Structure formats: C-alpha cells, structure tokens
Amino acid sequence: MGLGYIAYYLVFDYVDPMGYYEAVLRDERLFEDEVNRLFYGMQELVDQEEVVVNGERVRPRVVMVDIGFRGRRDRVFIVFALRFRAPVRPGRNVYENRYEPETIEYNYEAYWVFPPGSRILEVDMGPGSEDWDVVSGSVVAIYGRRGGRTGGYERIVFRLPGPGEEAVLADE
C-alpha cells in the first residue's frame, strides 16, 4: 500500500449585516487573530472526527483559512483547506468519516479531491444528510443548507488506477 494525499475544501457562506468581517478585513492584526481562531477551531472539530481510509485511521489537518466577500460586504465566505496522507492502493479504496450529526447553521459547500487519476465509485453521506454530486471523476461536492442535518457518517469509495491504467481512467 502506498501513501497518497486526499484534500478537501469547506466553503461557508455567512450573512454579516453588522459588518464584523468588513472590520476584520480592514485591520491586519484583527484578520490574523480571526484566521488563527478559525484555524484552531476547525482543527479542534476535525480532531473529534474518526476518519479512516482502507481501515487505517488518518488525521486531517487544516492547512489554510481564507475570508472574503461574495460581491457585497454583508455576504461573507470563509474557506478552509484540509488535507491528509492516506494509505491508498491501486484498485478500490474506501474513505470513511464518523462524527456527531448536527443541524447545519450556515450554507456550505465541501469539495473532496481524491488522488489524480482516481474515479469515484460510491458516495454515502448518511441518513437525511446533505446533497452531493460527483463533479469530475475524482472530485465530490457536498452541499449543506442551513437548517438541514449532517448525517454523522460519510463514505466515499474510489478507485485508483493500477500500472498501465492511468491513461484510460484520466480520459474517461
């Protein structure tokens, strides 16, 4: 079994009528403090999850936080980039994540990016959970809407090409 990387990006959308994030983005020190607060808060949440690839526990790490606006100062987005090393192999691989189900407080999208050349085979986001879509062979998008529920379980099965298969899978 080799090691590969799996990455995911969480994009949260906020309505900010009081202008908190406008003030944060105008002040370098406030911005740095807010990014650090968000970074460590997300890492703490992720550390509570049980993430397993092919039966082996893995440890996702927050690697980036960004804050910006969607056209208007009261429409804020926050992006978290996370990644982890995973014991992947040619053929079928299984990513699983168990966590406490919860009510979704803010709209978000999550984009899972599996190793190059891989192909998503199955997706299970748990009972009554978010919508999702395979947006390319190796990328899954998950859409959480405010007021919905997370399922408490994620399972994504993907296939990595074996020797000589790269061109076939990459062209599909």
In tens, the pLDDT along 34-72 reads 999 999 999 999 999 999 999 999 999 999 999 999 989
In tens, the pLDDT along 68-85 reads 999 899 999 999 999 999
pLDDT at 47: 97
pLDDT over threshold 80, residue 167: no
Burial letters 54-77, b for 16+ CB under 10 A, else e: eeeebebebeebebeeeeeebebb
pLDDT at 170: 47
Q: Which of 12 and 129 is assigned the larger pLDDT?
A: 12
Show the tokens assigned to 86. 């995973």
In tens, the pLDDT along 109-146 reads 999 999 988 999 999 988 766 689 999 889 999 999 99
Mean pLDDT score, 83-96: 96
Contact (Cβ atoms closer than 8 angstroms) between residue 106 and residue 78: no
Instruction: Find all residues with CB under 8 Å of 42, minimum gap 6, and list them.
Output: 10, 62, 65, 80, 82
